[in-house]
Structure formats: C-alpha cells, structure tokens
C-alpha cells in the first residue's frame, strides 16, 4: 500500500458510469415495477452505496476512506434498451475516490443484473469508466466527451 501519511487532506470527488444493455421487455418491466424481486432501482441504489463503502475490502491495495457523500443515479434509455448508472463519491481525505466511484457503479449494475436475471440472462454491463475526478495534487480531470459536473451553488 502506498504511504499517504505526508499528503495533505483535501476535498475530492469522482464520478463513474456503467451502461446496462437489455431486452426492451426487461427495461419495460423495470419501468413498470413488474420485477418479481421488487424495486430494481431502489435495490441497485443501495447496492451502489454499500459497494462504495466497502471498496477497501474488495480492492486489495485501496485505502479505507472517510466518505462524506455517495450519489447513485439512473437514466433509463428506451431508444437503446439500456440503463445508464452514474455515481458520484466525495471525501475530504489524503487520496482520491476514483475506485469508490467505479466500485459503486459496478455494484449498482450487478444488483440490477441480479434483480432481472430470471427474465433476461443476456443483460450486459458495458463501458464501466471514470467520468470525472477533482481534488488532490493532480487536480481536475474530465473524460473526453463527458460533461463536467455543474459547479455547486453557494
């Protein structure tokens, strides 16, 4: 594990995304709340939050961080029969939260798969990626083609 003792604490944030592609009927069942296991997006939101909080237990050399905020959002895309999951994770600490944001997106996506696998085993998680990160020595980074997050209002 990298020693971060001499590093100063700073506000840090990371956003990540994953896309789930599925049959149109699967997306329709999720939208209509007709999935036998229950509210797919509510369960996926909780799974994403829990995954972010447990990142250091899952990724061997990840530092445990004091997370101050975790958001998990969904955009249902009927035209592409897809769900786009986006996460944002915040902390004030000595190292970044990119892994927590990515783990949250993956955890939420896997929870969706688990909830609907009985009706669509062909569902695919794709394009898991970091979208944006800010804070720390390396500063602000935005994936090419992604929109940066709107600045917080005072």
Identify the CA nearest to 26 among candidates 91, 120, 125, 137: 120
Name the CATH topology of 10-142.
Answer: Alpha-Beta Plaits (3.30.70)
Q: How confident is the model at residue 45 (pLDDT cuts 50, 70, 90)?
A: very high
Strands 82-93 and 10-21, bridge-based pairing: antiparallel
Q: Decide if 109 contacts 18 (C-beta within 8 A).
A: yes
- Note the pLDDT of residue 151: 52
Q: How confident is the model at residue 56 (pLDDT cuts 50, 70, 90)?
A: very high
Q: How confident is the model at residue 153 (pLDDT cuts 50, 70, 90)?
A: very low
The answer to which of 60-64, 137-141, 145-149, 150-154 has the lowest mean pLDDT is 150-154
User: What average pLDDT does the chain have?
Assistant: 94
Residue 42 contacts by C-beta under 8 Å, 6 or more apart in sequence?
none
Question: Is-above-0.75 flag for pTM?
Answer: yes
Residue ranges covered by each domain of the chain: 10-142
- Note the pLDDT of residue 31: 97
Strands 141-142 and 82-93, bridge-based pairing: unpaired
Q: What is the mean pLDDT of residues 40-53?
A: 98
SS3 47: helix
- Note the pLDDT of residue 154: 35
Catalytic residue set? 114
């Amino acid at each position: 594990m990298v020693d971060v003792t001499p590093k100063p604490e700073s506000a840090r944030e990371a956003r990540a995304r994953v896309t789930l592609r599925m049959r149109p009927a699967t997306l329709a069942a999720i939208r209509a709340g007709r999935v036998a296991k229950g509210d797919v997006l509510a369960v996926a939101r909780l799974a994403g939050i829990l995954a972010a909080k447990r990142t250091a237990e899952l990724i061997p050399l990840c530092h445990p961080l004091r997370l101050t905020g975790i958001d998990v959002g969904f955009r249902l895309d009927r035209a592409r029969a897809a769900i786009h999951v986006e996460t944002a994770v915040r902390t004030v600490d000595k190292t970044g939260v990119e892994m927590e944001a990515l783990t949250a997106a993956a955890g939420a996506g896997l929870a969706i798969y688990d909830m609907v696998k009985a009706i669509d085993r062909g569902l695919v998680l794709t394009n898991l990626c970091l979208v944006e990160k800010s804070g720390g020595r390396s500063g602000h980074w935005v994936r090419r083609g992604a929109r940066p997050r709107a600045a917080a209002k005072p």
